[in-house]
Amino acid sequence: MATPRHPEETFDVIVVGTGAPGLTAALTAAYHGARVVVVERGHLWGGTSATSGGTIWIPNNHLIAPAGGEDNPADALRYIRGLAGEEASVERVQAFVDAAPRMVRFLADHSELQFEALDSYCDYHPELPGGRMGYRSIQALPIKSDLLARDFDTLQPPHVSTTAFGRINWTAKEARPLITQAKGAKSIFLKIAAKYWLDIGQRLKTPRDRRITGGGALVARLRRSLNQRQVPIRLSTALVDYVLENGRVVGIEVESGGYRQVLRATQGVVVASGGFERNPELRRQHLPGPTSTAWTGGNPFNTGEPIAAAMRLGAKMHLLDAAWWAPGFKLADEDRARPMFVERSLPGSIMVDQSGRRFCNEAASYHVTGTVMAERAATGGTAPSWFVFDARFRGKYALGPLFPGPPAFDRSVKPSMRALLKRADTLAELAALIGVEAATFSATVEQFNADARTGKDTLFGRGDSAYDRYYGDDAVQPNPCLLPLERGPFYALPILPCDLGTKGGMLTDVEARVLHEDGSIIEGLYAVGNCAASPMGRSYPAAGATLGPGMTFAWLAARHALGVTG
């Protein structure tokens, strides 16, 4: 029996995906007078952007100088090229550096978006030529859910690891002192907790915070801007295939509610649908093994159909074996993994592989440590590895749903966390519980403890970089990332090579146009964000180096589709 169909509809620009890149493309096209429709596979909008911290990396942005910083395009280009190497096109990197500040200025001038510069949030490798100690990462200001009206009900909730205590929203500036227990942490906690719990009207309706921050604030402000321009967003509408005529993509076929429909685009289709992290077959084919959809913190709707459809179209693919890696863990009662963004920097902890040895600088960026784990998983015993800490760490710092407290509180820990966590009174007993050779594990801890007492990690340089120290504990000196593990009981948490999403897909040019296998352009088709091969190559330069390029190339794509210049 044939699938029932709805009549065709025609627009100027069709956008696939409701994350920040997709909404940026839609807003840009609508601003320039286009008839736009946005389609979203899931029943919630906001994509991975809404679940993220929402930081955007924009070198040389217009907020830097007023905030007291300095930047220039040449240093940004030098920094990215030094990290990305030959796997990133010089032309695409140059296009990003040139266009990113213009994109952010456009949004600041023509949308509800308001930003602040994160003056102390350094690049992930600030010591490299062209790196900066702050200002390049920016964040949307918070917004109240009331301003979204009924759209708030279908906004993708934030990832639990990007909130305080699993439910209270916070900004990047609030999160850092709370995580590291820095000066002022108690007053910040009391302030945001009071706002949450005293909001009686909201608490009676939903556990979700009325104050939207981070990635939620970013997409919420974009959605409000689209609503003002009456741009429709169709949820539960999945891309099935591209419509090709005379070698040009002229639309898409979608399915919704059991019906198929062709949506035609006179000017272009911009795909911003996310990666394929939720597709087990594509993971098996392309990502290093072992791998699992359970190991991703990405959006549950990112199953990769637009990428697979582009493969059928003959689009050139790049970086399909790459992801935005991060060490993390998966709780049985949650629908996605919890990446460990910052806990690894805190003193009184180490990571060991299945031999009981340290294998990296634990405080390096999550992408660096996650990449090491992913690359070594098949041969180096890093799936799982173990995050090991002592009672002093347990008493002061949070670790996912494990809130700070004395060991006596362990029985009150969330059952799914308690099921993973190993605890022992001695290191030898802990070694037996996690299946590592006791003598090797003991030697590892002894060497680390000796280094921690001097403040110098002789094996991996933990705490040498300014980024390492960003999430260290400044009360611990001489190295805020190092304390000996010496107070029992001792704990170990199994961690995996998780991801925030895949970063390989359609290869595009400087205007985000998708390329054929032979390098020619597939007219009418644009790809941005994680469904396109990252312009950053395999590197991760800084906080927001996913969203920044995604939104920038979305802006470029919409302008190019409509013939906008200048």
The answer to whether position 531 is within a domain reads no
Cα(441)–Cα(435) distance, integer angstroms: 10
The answer to whether position 468 is within a domain reads yes
Per-residue pLDDT of the chain (566 residues; tens, 9 = 90+): 788 999 999 999 999 999 999 999 999 999 999 999 999 999 999 999 999 999 999 999 999 999 999 999 999 999 999 999 988 999 999 999 999 999 999 999 999 999 999 999 999 999 999 999 999 999 999 999 999 999 999 999 999 989 988 889 999 999 999 899 988 899 999 999 999 999 999 999 999 999 999 999 999 999 999 999 999 999 999 999 999 999 999 999 999 999 999 999 999 999 999 999 999 999 999 999 999 999 999 999 999 999 999 999 999 999 999 999 999 999 999 999 999 999 999 999 999 999 999 999 999 999 999 999 999 998 889 999 999 999 999 999 999 999 999 998 998 899 999 999 999 999 999 999 999 999 999 999 999 999 999 999 999 999 999 999 999 999 999 999 999 999 999 999 999 999 999 999 999 999 999 999 999 999 999 999 999 999 999 999 999 999 999 999 999 999 999 999 98
pLDDT value at position 279?
98
Task: Check if the beta carbon of residue 382 is closer than 8 Å to that of residue 296.
Answer: no
Task: Check if the beta carbon of residue 139 is closer than 8 Å to that of residue 123.
Answer: no
Cα(461)–Cα(482) distance, integer angstroms: 11
**Would you list the DSSP string of 447-497?**
HHHHHHHHT--TTT-TT-SHHHHHTS-TTS-S-TT-----SSSEEEEEEEE
Amino acid letter, 540: Y
The answer to whether position 374 is within a domain reads yes
Which residues share a beta bridge with 317? 506
pLDDT value at position 566?
83
The answer to whether position 418 is within a domain reads yes
Share of the chain above pLDDT 90, in %: 95
At residue 93, the 3 state secondary structure works out as helix
At residue 156, the 3 state secondary structure works out as coil
> How is residue 450 written in tokens?
């000796």
The answer to whether position 351 is within a domain reads yes
pLDDT value at position 2?
82
pLDDT value at position 86?
87
The answer to whether position 478 is within a domain reads yes
The answer to whether position 143 is within a domain reads no
Which residues have a Cβ under 8 Å from the Cβ of 119 and sit 6 or more positions away?
Answer: 67, 68, 69, 134, 135
The answer to whether position 296 is within a domain reads no
Domain count, the chain: 1
Task: Check if the beta carbon of residue 315 is closer than 8 Å to that of residue 57.
Answer: no
pLDDT value at position 3?
87
Which residues share a beta bridge with 7? none
Q: What is the pLDDT of residues 453-479, one digit of tens each?
A: 999 999 999 999 999 999 999 999 999
Cα(144)–Cα(156) distance, integer angstroms: 15
Cα(545)–Cα(528) distance, integer angstroms: 13
Please give the model's pTM, rounded to 2 decimal places: 0.96
- Domain hosting residue 489, numbered range: 327-499
Closest residue by Cα to residue 304 from 530, 486, 464, 36? 530
Q: What is the pLDDT of residues 488-497, one digit of tens each?
A: 999 999 999 9
> How is residue 320 written in tokens?
């399909």
Cα(312)–Cα(314) distance, integer angstroms: 5
* CATH code (residue 450): 3.90.700.10
pLDDT value at position 395?
95
Question: Alpha helices of 57-116 — where are they, by DSSP H?
Answer: 73-84, 90-110
Which residues have a Cβ under 8 Å from the Cβ of 348 and sit 6 or more positions away?
Answer: 389, 390, 392, 393, 396, 397, 483, 484, 485
Q: What is the pLDDT of residues 267-277, one digit of tens each?
A: 999 999 999 99
